[in-house]
Structure 1
Amino acid sequence: MIETESLRKEFRTGGTNLIARIGRVGRSRRAGVAGRPADAGHAATKTAVDGLTLAIPPGRVTGLLGLNGAGKTTTIKILATLLRQTSGTVRVDGLDPLEEPNAVRRRINLIAGGERMVYARMTGRENLWYFGQLYDVPRGVLTGRIDELLALVGLTGAADTLVERYSRGMAQRLSIARGLINDPAYLLLDEPTLGLDAPIARDLRRVVARLAREGKGVLLTSHYLTEVEELCEHVYVIGDGRHLTEGSPAELTARTGCHRRVRVTVAGHSPGVESAVAAFAGRLGTAATVALAENGDMTVSMSHPDEIAGPLTMAIVDAGGTLAGLTVAEPSLEDAILALNDEAGLVTA
C-alpha cells in the first residue's frame, strides 16, 4: 500500500525577491561595499501539510477531503513525486520515493482535473504511445494496451483525431487512459471530474470503481461529495494540513452528530402555526427556522436525529396550518465536513 507517516510540507513565503537581491548585491559591489548574496530578507514559512499519516491500500478507493487550502493537492503531489516533503516518510509498497523515485513512478500515476495532461496537437493514440514510451512500456505490450485503454474510456472512434478537436470530456477521458498507460498499482486522482458534464462524470466514476474492483489502489480528492459517497469506502478529512478524522462516509456523518433536516411549506403565514412550531421545537430541545416566501407561504426547517416529519406536520395541521410541501433530507458528507471544520475552529467560507 501507499503509507505516509507524520508527513509535513512547508513552503517558504515572503523574503526579498531574488532579482532585487541580485541587483542590490551588484550595486553594493560597484560601490566597493561587501554585498550579502545570501540575504533572504524576512522570510517566513507556510505549513501546507502538517503531520499526516495515511494509508491507501490496493483494491479500494480512498478519499482525501477538506476545504480549499486544506492541503489535499500538496499531499497528492508529494505522493506523485512532484514535491519533496519537508519531513516525515512516504512508502509505496515499501519503496521510498526519495531514494527510489523511478521505481515508485512505475507503480503510480496522477490524473488532475482542470489541468492539461495530454498534448493537443497529437492524436489520442499518439499521446498514449508517447507516454507509454516515457514509462518504458515494451512496444509489444504497448500497442495492445493502447487499444484496450481507448476502448475502456470510449475513445476508439476518436483514436486518430487530434486532441485539439476533442471536447473537454473527451480530453479528460484520454487523461484517464494516459494515467493507466503504465498499468499503475496506484492511481492518484485530484478532482478528476472537475467541470465535466454529468453523463461524462458518471462514466468516469464507473471506470474508477471498476479499477478498484480489479485491485488498483485509488486516492481521490473531489469537491463533488456525492461522488465521494458513491466511490469511497474510507475517507480522510483534513484541515489546515492536519488530520481531523477518518472513516467511511456514513461513519463520519454519524460521528459528527449531523441530523436529517425536515422542511415543511405552509400555505400562508399564521402566527398560531409559528407559535406551535416553536413549542414543538422547544419540547425536542432543538431550534426551528421559519422563513417567509414572496408569495406569503411560510417555510419551517428543523433538524433532529429522530423521525420528526410526521409529528411536526401534525402539530402544524392541529394549529390550523395547510401543508403545501414536505421534504426530508438525510445528513450528508458535506454537513459532516463543515461540522468537523467548525469543531476544529477552521474557516469554512
Structure 2
Amino acid sequence: MVRGIIATDLRKAFRIPRGLFGKPTEKVAVDGLSLVIPPGRVTGLLGLNGAGKTSTIKMMATLLRPTSGTITVDGLDTVADARAVRRRINLIAGGERMVYAQLTGRENLHYFGRLYGLPGGVRRQRSEELLDLVGLSDAADTVVERYSRGMAQRLSIARGLINDPDYLLLDEPTLGLDAPIARDLRQVVAKLVRNGKGVLLTSHYLAEVEELCEHVYVIAAGRHLTEGSPAMLTADAGCHKTVTVAVPDPSAEVAAAVAQFTARISASIVEERRDDGTLVVSLVHPDDIAGPLVTAIVAAGGAIIDLTVTNPSLEDAILAIADGAHPPAGVAP
C-alpha cells in the first residue's frame, strides 16, 4: 500500500450560470494539479488569493468531487471510498463555522466523536483532553453562540482532532487566534508530525509555514508552479538580501564612494537623508556585500553608526514566483 495523500492530475471546474437563458460558463479552480502529502511531514500549499488552495483541500476532505483526476488516501479513493477516507482525515478551516452554535463546547465534541464511532469512554476522555488542550475547559458547558470568534476557532481545532486523524488538513487554521493559542496549535501540529501524522497546511502567515513546513507547493490559477523547502524556494526565486547602513553627516568623498561601489556591483539602492544629516543607504544584492560596503565607506573617511542585513523571506519568494506566473486563457485568476 502506498502511504500518504496523493493527488494526480487534479481538476475542478465550476459551472457559472448566466441569467435565465444565457449559456453557463466554466470557472476552473484547479487545473491538472499533482501533489503528495506523506505521513510524518507538514506539507505547505501556498499561492495568492484565488490560487485554488481551498478547492484542493476540500476535494481532499471529500467535500468536493474532482471534475477529473484522482485523490487517494493510503490507497483509498476519495470518491469511491469516501466513508473510509473520512475516518483517516480531518479538516480545520479558519474563518468557517465548523461547529454547532446551539450546542455547548463539550456537546459539540461528543457529537462529532459519535459521528466518528468513538466508544463512550474514549469519546469522553478525548473530549476533555482536547478542551484542555485548546483552553476551553472553563467554557465547556457554554453554548457556542456565546463564544468569541477566537474561542469558536479553538473549538474547531479540537473538533478537527477528535478522531485522532492520520492526516490533518489545515486551511488557515490560526485565523483569528490570539498569538499564544496560535503558538500552542503549532506545537500540537509539530507533535502530531513527530508521531507520524501527515499534515497539509495553507496559511497567509508565512512565518508559520517557514516554521512548520519541510516541503511547500506553490500554485497559481490552480496549476503547479514550483515546489521545495522554504529555503530552496527563497533561493530559487532570486530574492536578495538587503544591507542598510547609516552614515552620520557623510562627506562628498563618502557619498561618491557609496555611488561607485553601488555601480560596480550593479546593486539597487535607496537613499534617505535624516533631519540630523545622517545618510541611510539600503542596497539589494544577491551576494554578501555588507563587509565590502563598510570597507568602502571607512576607506573614504566615513563612519558607520548602524548596520542591518535583512534576509529574504518566504513571502518575498511567493510574491516573486506568483508575479512571474500568468494564468492561461479560460482559467480563473
TM-score (norm 1): 0.86
Return the alpha-carbon distance in structure 1 between the equivalents of residues 177 and 248 of structure 2: 39
Q: 1:173-188 alignment to 2 at 5 Å? A: 173-188=154-169
Return the alpha-carbon distance in structure 2 between the equivalents of residues 50 and 91 of structure 1: 17
Q: What is the aligned counterpart of 1:342 among 314, 323, 327?
A: 323
Cα distance 1:146–1:50, how it changes in 2: closer, same or farther (>3 A)? same
Return the alpha-carbon distance in structure 1 between the equivalents of residues 108 and 128 of structure 2: 12
CA contact (8 A) 1:108 1:184 kept: yes
Q: 1:270-309 alignment to 2 at 5 Å? A: 272-293=253-274, 297-309=278-290
CA contact (8 A) 2:134 2:181 kept: no
Equivalent residue letter for 1:92: V
Q: Which residue of 1 aligns with 2:32?
A: 51
Deviation at 1:298, TM superposition (A): 3.2
Q: CA RMSD in A?
A: 2.2
Q: Which residue of 1 aligns with 2:7?
A: 4
Cα distance 1:270–1:240, how it changes in 2: closer, same or farther (>3 A)? farther
Q: What is the aligned counterpart of 1:233 among 214, 225, 229?
A: 214
Return the alpha-carbon distance in structure 1 between the equivalents of residues 157 and 98 of structure 2: 10
Q: Which residue of 2 aligns with 1:15?
A: 18
CA contact (8 A) 1:266 1:321 kept: yes
CA contact (8 A) 1:269 1:292 kept: no
Return the alpha-carbon distance in structure 2 between the equivalents of residues 295 and 50 of structure 1: 56
List per-residue Cα deviations over 1:90-136 (Å, max 9, x = no partner).
11111112112111111111111112222233221111011112222
Return the alpha-carbon distance in structure 2 between the equivalents of residues 294 and 104 of structure 1: 64
Report percent identity of matched pairs: 68
SS of 2:76's partner is: coil
CA contact (8 A) 1:260 1:330 kept: yes
CA contact (8 A) 1:278 1:287 kept: no
Equivalent residue letter for 1:98: V
Deviation at 1:207, TM superposition (A): 1.1
Cα distance 1:325–1:140, how it changes in 2: closer, same or farther (>3 A)? same
SS of 1:141's partner is: helix
Deviation at 1:330, TM superposition (A): 1.3
Equivalent residue letter for 1:276: A
List per-residue Cα deviations over 1:184-227 (Å, max 9, x = no partner).
11111000111322222111111111111111111000011110
Return the alpha-carbon distance in structure 2 between the equivalents of residues 56 and 12 of structure 1: 29
Paired residues, number: 325
**Does 2:116 align with 1:113?**
no
**Does 2:83 align with 1:80?**
no
Structure number, greater radius of gyration: 1
Return the alpha-carbon distance in structure 2 between the equivalents of residues 285 and 267 of structure 1: 24
Deviation at 1:320, TM superposition (A): 4.7
**Does 2:79 align with 1:94?**
no
Unaligned runs of 5+ in 1: 22-38
Equivalent residue letter for 2:181: I
CA contact (8 A) 1:237 1:243 kept: yes
List per-residue Cα deviations over 1:211-261 (Å, max 9, x = no partner).
111111110000111100000111101111111111111111122232221
Equivalent residue letter for 1:336: A
Equivalent residue letter for 2:227: E
Return the alpha-carbon distance in structure 1 between the equivalents of residues 83 and 56 of structure 2: 19
